[in-house]
Structure 1
Amino acid sequence: MFDREYSFRGKHSEMVIKLTGEFTLTSEDGTNVKKHSLFKRNFDVYLLAPIVGFLYNRKADIDTTPQGGSTKIWADIQMNNSDDLNFNYKLIMLLDKENEPDPEKRIDKAFRGIKNEADEQLYNSYVLGGVEVLYENLIDKSSDYIANLYDFLETFENRYNTDVNVDDVLKMARKLSY
């Protein structure tokens, strides 16, 4: 599954391009300008998106419209990172009770290598749904991407009650504020 090139198409391509695009931050006195990006590569979005899509119960279909073009993740990047990608795939197959209520079948999908096209399409729908969630929360809200990131992390922390130290995130955001 992760041994070939992957393409984001249509609106998802546009979203990934914006998620990986550079933005500038200027110091308050206007003398220091730095370029940053929320994600360095398309692959970084692809690695996080299925988990976000699953956690937010967000799925999306492939956009086949001609607008938006496509953006790719090369096959060698997929293959070199197949352990991480397979971990995400197995985790989702194991936890997805909505699409497979039988725990034995979920275990088969996750650990016994029983894959089928429907499961791969389900995984991809979580990828695309996750791209949409990331885009809506990090880019689409406002042009203050650092504030968007902070808000998203805070919402995520509240939603899943994880142990994210807000003070550490604020310190990091302040370091990037120029």
Structure 2
Amino acid sequence: MFQKDFRFVGKHATYVKFLVNNAKIFQRNIDVYMLGALIGITYDKTSTKDMNSNDDTLIPVSAFITEKTNCIFIYRLVMLLSDAKGEEMNMENRLNRAFRDGVEQDAEGKMKDNMNLFHSYVLGGVEKIYELYTSDITGKDEYLERMMEVLEDFQDTDVIKNNELDEETLLKYM
């Protein structure tokens, strides 16, 4: 998990480059990646790789090494909150997906599926961030205003709606 480069391609690469290089809202591609996952799960927005363009940009493994703790935390949060493929999952399955899948030797396929799900939220989140920062914005001051609006919206969002997650249940998996 998070032990190799990640490449944004197509429109997602274009969006990431815009957010990092042009709008200068983020300093690094990995910052867009991490927030993309959080925004994707918050807005329940997923996407698939766009192969309609040759544009690409890379997050090197060194960035993942630097941000590994944050990436794992965000990954686990997404796995706990996501209903994979629209299926209602009980808390035990969510906890397995977040903390156990990939640890056991026979779970390599599960880990690949989980990472694909995680990346679908990253890509959906990148699209949402781009949408939020490109609609009706003409200057740097407006980027700051929009950032404050997004943070306020994010803070007011009730992401965790499942009351099955209590401390006792969580401690069994840690």
The 1-side partners of 2:115 and 2:61 are apart by 17
- Post-superposition, which runs of at least 4 consecutive aligned residues in structure 1 deviate over 6 A? none
Q: In the alignment, which residue of structure 2 is the partner of 1:109?
A: 97
2:111 and 2:153 map into 1 onto residues whose CA distance is 34
Between structures 1 and 2, the one with greater strand share: 1
Q: Would you say the 8 A contact 1:7–1:72 is kept in 2?
A: yes
Secondary structure, counterpart of 2:58 in structure 1: strand
- Identical amino acids, percent of aligned pairs: 33
TM-score normalised by L of structure 1: 0.74
Amino acid at match of 2:57: T
1:5 is displaced (CA, Å) by 0.6
Contact 2:26 2:32 in 1 (8 A): yes
Question: Structure 1 residues 91, 18: closer, same or farther in 2, change over 3 A?
Answer: same
Say how many residue pairs are matched: 147
The TM-score, its normalising length taken from structure 2, stands at 0.76
1:54 aligns with 2:41: yes
Q: How large is the RMSD of aligned CA atoms in angstroms? A: 2.0
CA distance in 2 between counterparts of 1:75 and 1:99 reads: 32
Report if aligned partners of 1:20, 1:40 keep a CA contact under 8 Å in 2: yes
Separation of aligned partners in 1, 2:67 and 2:29: 13
Larger helix proportion, structure 1 or 2?
Answer: 2
* Residue in 2 that maps onto 1:43: 30
Per-residue CA deviation, residues 117-169 of structure 1 (Å, 9 max, x unaligned), is 221111000000110111111233312312222332333344449xxxxxxxx
**Which of 124, 131, 135 is residue 129 of structure 1 equivalent to?**
124
